[in-house]
Amino acid sequence: MNSSTKLNILRTLLAVFIALLISFGIIFLTSDEPVKAIVQLLTGPLQSQRRFGNVIEAMIPLIFTGVGISIMFAANEINLAGEGAFHLGGLAATYFALNTALPPVISPIATILIAGLCGMIVTGIPALMKIKTESDVLVSSLMMNYLVLYFSTYVLSNILRDPAAGAVVSFAVPSVTQLGTIFNGTRIHVGLFIALAAAAIGYIFLYKTKLGYEIRVTGENREFARYSGINVVKITLVSQLFGGAIFGIGGGVELLGMYNRFTWTSLLGYGWDAIIITTLAKKNPIYVPLAAFFLAYLRTGASIMSRSTDVVTEIVTITQGIIILLVVAEQFLSKYKHKIISKEAKAALVEKEGE
């Protein structure tokens, strides 16, 4: 590992550390029992098997979204419709499960694949619009999220709604489609394996396949990719579709694993979480589970903290924002970065002189 990678890891850790410090500061300011709150935040999840289980469950959708966005961002396209893709994936899974009667094992697999397909459509629309009309992916992808939200709420309230249930929720998804729990005493479901597989597949896709290579080159230098013969338009589209599919699958898995009815009446925010995760994981799917674990741990800790103290979970959202700000700031510790880079460049030059 060369020194510039080491420095990057250091910067990331420092950013996380500073963000946590600031959050602790806020806790101190707003809470009557700050120490207890911080202890709960940091160690709460370790206090019982069930609680640690909560961390793992929370990790699962984060892995999917982290991988999905890593693939989309690898092509250097800022498509933020992953949020909507996830949401639609959950809806599609519910609808499909409720309206088909497939045998065990096949049912959840087919359902999840359909969810992926729908996710693909959500991220695909802005990508296609960029190709056909040169419209800015940023705005169009943001609009997609709201469109999906209202559309799903409509479908929920008018088509899938279970009148027998108290709240606005769908009918229960048949148990044959649901993903079973792995460890008793927790809610960790089979989706965990699927998520880890997705991370592995994502990594292999980006770093070991032709397509992945083409996507990365396109993202790094579009002109260079084109000059090399890569069809940059097609490749960018593929990356958006593939990423969207993973988001959609994530939504389907989350629904089938953690819920038995479609209950989402607002956007869950996994799309924005994905940004943090990919920032921490440096866009590499293989590191996503680590980053996802970290975020999930923090979230669970915050939830435990909020139940036993007066600090609300939203503190973690603030932490997340600060982490992004600091990690992405090029100039954060840039003086040191420059020193190391010029040291390495000089070393390379010196070696060159010897030829």
Partner 1 sequence: MGDKVLQMNNIMKIYPNGVVAVEDVTFELEKGEIHALLGENGAGKSTLMKVLFGIESPEQGEIILNGQKENIKSPLDAIKKGIGMVHQHFMLVPSLTVAENIVLGMEPKKNKLFIDEERAFKLSKETADIYNFDIDVKERVEELPVGLKQKVEILKALYRGADILILDEPTAVLTPQETEELFIQLKKLKEKGHTIIFISHKLDEIKEICDRATIMRNGRSKGTYLVKDITTAEMSRLMVGRDVVTTFDKKPAELKDTVLKVRNLSVTGTTGIKRVDDLSFDVKKGEIFGIAGVEGNGQGQLVEVLTGLSKKYKGQIKVFDQDAKKYSIRELRDLGMAHIPEDRMTYGCARNMNIMDNIFTNQYHKTEYSGKVLLKNRKIENRVNELIKEYRVKTKSYRQSVGMLSGGNIQKVVVAREFSTSPAIIIANQPTRGIDVGAASFIRQRILDFRDSGCAIILISADLNEVLELSDRLAVIYKGQFSGVFNNVKNVTEVELGKYMLGIKKDDRLEGIIYEQ
Partner 2 sequence: MIIEAVFSPEFLNATLRATTPILFAALASCIASKSGVINMALEGIMLFTALFGVIFSAAFQSAWLGLLATMAVGGFIGFFLAFFVLRLKTDEILAAIAINLIANGATILILLYVSGDRGISSSIPSLIIPRVTLPIIKDIPFLGQVLSNQNILTYVSLIMVAVVHIFLYRTPLGLKIRAVGENKDAAESVGISSDKIRYISLTLSGVLASMGGFFLSGGYMTKFTIGMSAGRGFIALAAGAMGGNTPIGSFLVSLLFGAAQALSNILQLGAWPHELVQMLPYVTTLIGLGIYSYSRMKKRQRLTGR
Binding span for partner 2 by CB under 8 A among 5-13, 97-105, 265-273, 283-291: 265-273
Which of 174, 187, 191 has its CA nearest to residue 261? Answer: 174
Residues 150-189 that bind partner 2 (CB under 8 A): 150-151, 153-154, 157-158
Coil/strand/helix, residue 120 = helix
Least distance (Å) from partner 1 to the CB of residue 47?
Answer: 43
Asked if 211 touches partner 1 (CB under 8 A), the answer is yes
Q: What is the DSSP code (8-state) at residue 37?
A: H
Least distance (Å) from partner 1 to the CB of residue 217?
Answer: 6
Asked if 351 touches partner 2 (CB under 8 A), the answer is no
Note whether 46 and 52 are within 8 A (CB): yes
Least distance (Å) from partner 1 to the CB of residue 266?
Answer: 38
How many whole angstroms from its chain centre is CA 173? 25
Pick one of partner 2, partner 1, none as the site partner of residue 217 (Cβ within 5 to 8 A by kind).
partner 1
Return the number of the residue (20 or 182) whose C-beta is nearest partner 2.
20
Binding span for partner 2 by CB under 8 A among 90-98, 112-120, 137-145, 225-233: 137-145
Q: DSSP letters of 266-335? A: S--SHHHHHHHHHHHTTT-GGGHHHHHHHHHHHHHHHHHHHHHSS--TTHHHHHHHHHHHHHH-TTTTHH
Least distance (Å) from partner 2 to the CB of residue 18?
Answer: 13
User: What is the CB-side half-sphere exposure of residue 260 using CA atoms within 13 A?
Assistant: 10
CA distance 195 to 289: 9
Contacting partner 1 (CB under 8 A), which of 43, 47, 221, 308? 221
Chain contacts with partner 2 (rule: CB under 8 A):
26, 30, 78, 129, 132-136, 138-140, 142-144, 146-147, 150-151, 153-154, 157-158, 266, 269, 272, 275, 279, 312, 314-318, 320-322, 324-325, 328-332, 334
